[in-house]
Amino acid sequence: MTELGHTQSLPLDQDTETQAGPYPGRRTLVQTRPHREVWTAVHERQKSAGVSSVSQYVADVLAMHVGREDLVVELGRKEGLPLAM
């Protein structure tokens, strides 16, 4: 834990900015050790979905899993070019 003023919080709990822009809200770091075959499948799904990172893909899947589609950042939100008629 990092002490900030009188409260303790994780560094990722702060609203921070990246080169891509501000995070869409407060986030919590979650670490897991999936079976290698699971990791491979997740990585393949992330790439085929066009999501920028496995971390963002997993965050979006978790948001959808708990019924919070409003917190999904990339998964299923990429808009393609309109089809010619």
Residue 38, in any domain of the structure? no
- Three-class DSSP category at 38: helix
Report yes or no on 45 lying in a domain: no
* Cβ-defined contacts of 79-83 (< 8 Å, 24+): none
Nearest to 38 by CA among 58, 53, 60, 66: 58
Domain region containing 63: 52-76
Tell me, yes or no, whether 71 lies in a domain. yes
Number of structural domains, the chain? Answer: 1
Q: Is 67 left (phi over 0), alpha (psi -120 to 50) or beta?
A: left
pLDDT of residue 77: 77
The per-residue pLDDT for range 3-56, each reduced to its tens digit, is 445 444 445 444 444 555 555 678 888 899 999 999 999 999 999 999 999 999
Let me know if residue 23 belongs to a domain. no
Q: Does 30 map to a domain?
A: no
Lookup result for tokens 């309109």: 82
pTM of the model: 0.64
